[in-house]
A and B are shown apart, each in its own frame.
Chain A
Amino acid sequence: MKRYIIPVVPALVLLFACSTLVNAQTKPEASVKFSGEVVRPLIIGASGLQRAERVTVDRKDRDGQVHHYTGVLLSDLLARAGTTMGKELRGENLTKYVLVEASDGYQIIFTLAELDPDFTDEKIILSDQMDSKPLPLADGPFRIIVQNDKKPARCIKQVTSIKVGFAQ
């Protein structure tokens, strides 16, 4: 009996590994791609966002309730991608915009100055949690939260791409 079990165990392990691999191929990790006028194009997923400095902001959603959204300041992520933030945000760099796109094709823009902590105390984050839980499926896994916009139209859900461009 033992004779049969010994080769069966590695076979099962191999089968499990293969199925995990196939699963990984059919269901890739969701991520946000930073591109355009950036020195270091960046693709950040859930784990990368968890490792960055976390911030929580409160804002009311369409349901009329105030929620706690946790994520990373968009300005931090843009700085990591090598966007002209902080001391570099002057002159023609003030004509740059950040185009955020969701998986449904919805797009919104910010200017860099709207995001930079040297210009504003407004907190605009790329969130991955609402009330300490992952975002609802239809909103996540990544959603921009603009702390003080009266309308939530720029709190764009299911974010997939962030592109920095120059206004022409």
Chain B
Amino acid sequence: MSACQIEKKRYWSRNFCVLLLFLSFFVGFSALKSEEEVPRGIYSLEYPVYFGNRTNISKENPLTQQGVYLGRRLFYETRLSANNTISCGSCHRQELAFTDGKKLSKGVDDTFTDRNAMALVNLLWNRKFFWDGRSGSLEDQAQFPMISAHEMGQDMETSSRKLQSTAYYPPLFKAVFGDDKITGKRITFALAQFERTLISAHSRYDQYLKQQIKLSPEEMRGMTLFNTAPNPEKGIRGANCAHCHGGPKNYLELFHNNGLDSVYRDRGIGQITGQETDHGRFKIPTLRNIALTAPYMHDGRFSTLEEVIEHYSEHVKPSVALSAFLQNESNVKGSLPLKLNSVEKKELIAFLNTLTDSIFVSNPKFSNPFVTLKSR
């Protein structure tokens, strides 16, 4: 070996050592950094008094800061899907109030879901989940999209195994659950914790409820229509939206047949109960951030709020399953749908726009943490 070769070898081995040192320092620093990053302690939920305290939190799964921290990361974790491309956040995008802007969503098998992706807004006050209300908790709900072949398409055992094999997740699970074992149950628990923090309470309507601002005359007229049941005999005009979307949360946890169809491609709750009167009965979602969550209805058939209002005003279809309150609820005596005029429709939309919460859809606490963090 010539002197030149020896020198070259020394050069490379020296450089290799420096590189190794640098890498181990970087890995060590990253691990330390992620250890330090994890906040700990009880997570305090903040929401306005007018939302009330009828919350739905599992006694088995109280909120902790570390649980919410982990849940947020799992929410945006694509490893939870069969082809590592889809996370919960794919169909529930923050900027769209955690919807995806599509009629139906495409899963890992390139097929579409049966129903429109629901908004994840103020779930803390929900007791029944999905369009057909089949799930009673966020913990239970979370596994459905993960294991569904047409959504994330991966069983919980595989998901657990994939996360367990990373360097990133076991310490996080240890911080939340006491040991670093990753299970399907723990994944759903952490996800549920994060989802309970998705509280929207900073819209212009909230400012109005807190008496901090006044709404415009058009918005106020829209609100009056929203809250009033029509009574043509007394000359009272209304849209009666509050019957199902009333109260400060604009959510009452009701399930109705709202006259979209008289023959059902999707029977909704009727598919579960077998009762004819449950055909076409679906969950009535919150109207918080409704201007951001198009398209609308369980099958995303309406692209705009104008189309939705047009349905209630002109096109409610009679059937044996049509909910009682929509039968002959009209501004014109003897008519089935509402029969609103064009000014009233605009006023209603003006009010609905006050329910948009720009702070909610840009809050960094709810955003994808992996956009900046690559080493996991």
Residues of A at the B interface (CB closer than 8 Å) are 25-28, 30, 103-106, 136-139, 157-158
Contacts and interface: CB of A to CB of B under 8 A. Distances in A.
Which DSSP category, helix, strand, loop or mixed, fits chain A's interface?
Answer: loop
Given A138-B322, A139-B324, A104 B254 contact: yes
Contacts of A27: 274-276
B158 to A, nearest CB: 35
Interface of B: 128, 133, 252-256, 269, 273-278, 281, 320-324, 327
A28 B275 CA distance: 7
Nearest to B133: A105
Given A27-B274, A28-B274, A137-B277, A105 B323 contact: no
B276 A103 contact: no
A25 B273 CA distance: 10
Contacts of A30: 275
**Which of A25, A104, A136 is most buried by chain B, counting CB atoms within 10 A of its CB?**
A104
Contacts of A28: 273-275
Contacts of B323: 104, 138
Given A103-B269, A103-B281, A138 B324 contact: yes
Nearest to A136: B324
Residue among A26, A137, A138, A139 having the largest count of chain B Cβ atoms under 10 Å: A138
A7 B347 CA distance: 71
B327 A138 contact: yes
Contact of A103 (B253, B277, B322, B327): B277
Closest 3 A/B residue pairs (Cβ)? A138-B324, A105-B254, A105-B255
A142 to B, nearest CB: 11
A138 B259 CA distance: 13
Contacts of B324: 136, 138-139, 157
Contacts of B254: 104-106
17 contacts: A27-B274, A27-B275, A28-B274, A103-B269, A103-B275, A103-B278, A103-B281, A104-B254, A104-B256, A104-B281, A104-B323, A105-B133, A105-B253, A105-B255, A138-B277, A138-B327, A157-B324
Most interface-central of B252, B269, B274, B281 (chain A CB within 10 A):
B274
B64 to A, nearest CB: 23
A151 to B, nearest CB: 13
A30 B278 CA distance: 11
Contacts of B327: 138
Contacts of B320: 137-138
